[in-house]
Structure 1
């Protein structure tokens, strides 16, 4: 378990050894809460007063997926590949107390910085593992999760060994039969990397006999070229007869305007 008492003047910055960039925790003067910056770029937002407030659109969509697929309050076993400011860890703890979570973060200094400056909600049970996402997941042989969240991709500079069908096969193998893999993909207006990831994940899902890849995003990104994030999901849960009910819930929950593509629509949108 990672815990920390909030102390005025607590550590707010760290030099990250893997990327050799500076990480900062700074106050968000516009929307409130706190922001994790790495190399001067905003990576995560945390609201200590209300951890269910997810400011970044892609995280809100991921939260909506978890909310709809599993009964409210049911504890889950979740692996987070990429930790950031542990925003989704906090959300899961508050909405599903008793959940068992593990975070794999390659920047070993980051979790300490985050939990010192921004304490986790009381009762959070989270195992923090320092290392490469693929290597550390492979080391969890025999361990299975309800959900795996992959949040390390940012365009064509993303780790190439994670952006493959083989890695997706490895990740899907760590899911329960009714589990879900949620992948955040940030890309530029050309969406070449995103289209490639759809193809890799589709290939893995097909090999395992799964129903295919769903996409959740801001509707404008499907029609107007722009930088942005999309959430790809795959896994046995999507074979449920409730999937159309979930689709309507995801669209209704937003952020708006929301688009939710089923596997056929996803394949058509990214066939390039």
Structure 2
């Protein structure tokens, strides 16, 4: 059954009409189920929904499942690299009211717009700023974060600087003991980018887990894979596998995924 549409989400913004942002163009589109999507440079970027519990993108549900399976501190601090409309930071802030979130986006226009569009938590629970994604981790102090989430794309690919050994090394350096890095990795058959990305993750963090549709994990079609690390005793792999077994689409959890 379609969810009831709400006029609460950016009613003043015309749908299906491109508007300029610092890194190109964006638009809002409404879907029949009541979800509003932010598109950036022709690519769907963020779902905007009234209910913060609901996540329209499958990979965001994988991210949420990984946080659930992680033995996190009661008052965690998270850095989100690739804020867009802040759908996932909003979701986590709702689920974990004592958590703090910093969301950064390379586009200097979006942080101003998203605050106008919908009901995001205010600072200090959620701070949003324009910042380069590599600078965001490189400028952090050692052991200053509990969670790092990377969900940044240029078109349909992760920018090379954010999939580099340098980015992963800084992300690992910023983690407090028991911390977690989650990365949304776009992959397609025959491409090398995901393989280099996950190799850099392992070099920086050690063991990692990959969560995604079976066909995508096997390299048979393009899609998104969530890489989670370090996959130590604070990340419950069995809980993730139970989540995957009940997911709407055929989903797997692998420790040997090579991109």
Q: Which residue of 2 aligns with 1:43?
A: 45
Q: Are the counterparts in 2 of residues 52 and 94 from structure 1 also a CA contact under 8 Å?
A: yes
**For residues 9 and 253 of structure 1, do their structure 2 counterparts lie closer, same or farther at Cα, with a shift above 3 Å needed?**
same
Q: Which residue of 1 aligns with 2:163?
A: 163
Quote the offset at 1:216 in angstroms: 0.4
Q: Which residue of 2 aligns with 1:52?
A: 53
**Deviations 1:18-68 (CA, angstroms, capped at 9, x unpaired):** x2x111223223x222110112321111211x1111111111100011112
TM-score by length of 1: 0.81
CA distance in 2, matches of 1:74, 1:225: 40
Q: Which residue of 2 aligns with 1:26?
A: 29
Q: Which residue of 2 aligns with 1:134?
A: 134
CA distance in 2, matches of 1:123, 1:134: 23
Q: 1:233 aligns with which of 224, 228, 237?
A: 228
Quote the offset at 1:93 in angstroms: 1.4
Quote the offset at 1:219 in angstroms: 1.0
Question: Does residue 202 of the first structure (1) align with residue 197 of the second (2)?
Answer: no
Question: Does residue 266 of the first structure (1) align with residue 257 of the second (2)?
Answer: yes
Q: Compare the two structures and name the one with the higher helix fraction.
A: 1
Q: Which residue of 1 aligns with 2:21?
A: 16
Q: Are the counterparts in 1 of residues 181 and 228 from structure 2 also a CA contact under 8 Å?
A: yes
Which segment is superposed worse, 108-117 or 240-249? 240-249
- 1:181 aligned counterpart, secondary structure: strand
Q: How does 1:91-240 map to 2 (within 5 A)?
A: 91-121=91-121, 125-142=125-142, 144-153=144-153, 158-205=158-205, 210=206, 212-223=207-218, 225-235=220-230, 238-240=231-233
TM-score by length of 2: 0.85
**For residues 166 and 131 of structure 1, do their structure 2 counterparts lie closer, same or farther at Cα, with a shift above 3 Å needed?**
same
**Deviations 1:57-90 (CA, angstroms, capped at 9, x unpaired):** 111100011112147x944211000002101111
**Deviations 1:135-184 (CA, angstroms, capped at 9, x unpaired):** 13222224622210011146895422222112201111111110110010
**Deviations 1:236-264 (CA, angstroms, capped at 9, x unpaired):** xx2217634333333245243110002xx
Count of residues paired in the alignment: 250
CA distance in 2, matches of 1:144, 1:68: 21
